[in-house]
Amino acid sequence: MEALSRPLVSSGSIELSLSGFVWKQIDPFHVWLIYDGVSIVEKTVVGRQETLRQVLDPATSSFTRTMFQVMTGSFADLQSTFLIKPRDEDRQSEWSYELEPRDAAIRRAIGRIILSGDTYLNHIRIEESPGNYTWIELTNQRPVP
């Protein structure tokens, strides 16, 4: 974020299913985002205090659904919201795509999303307001038995 003197780095894991995901951020603080395909719950843990709250914000809901579609490779669903273009300039990945929002309201928050990977999705770059971006690096992906 442009306002920070250095990047905010977090780590955790994502457990993906056919209907949703659990995004477990464990560092620098414990925050879980639980999406079941319909609703979103945020779980935070500070010390021994655990808080659960349903996320009702429409922008967060839209972003969470988009992230689920990205992680599951649901390009057919994404095409209604994004113009999807292959990217040839990413030489470090087997494939790379740029997602450009079709809707002007979304474009004000997200300029574009760049996806790249090989067998699995490895990198997600979300370019936000001028100078701000989120970089997600996915490692140790494996199918659930």
The pLDDT tens digits of the residues spanning 33-56 come to: 999 999 999 999 888 888 999 988
Of residues 114, 48, 66, the one with CA closest to residue 86:
114
Q: Report d(CA 70, CA 74) in Å as an integer.
A: 6
In 3-state terms, what secondary structure has residue 13?
strand
Query: Which pLDDT belongs to residue 43?
Result: 94
Partnered with residue 30 across adjacent β-strands are 45
Q: List phi, psi (to 5°) of 78.
A: -70, -30
Q: Report d(CA 95, CA 67) in Å as an integer.
A: 18
User: Between these two residues, 18 and 130, which has the higher pLDDT value?
Assistant: 18
For residue 42, the one-letter residue type is E
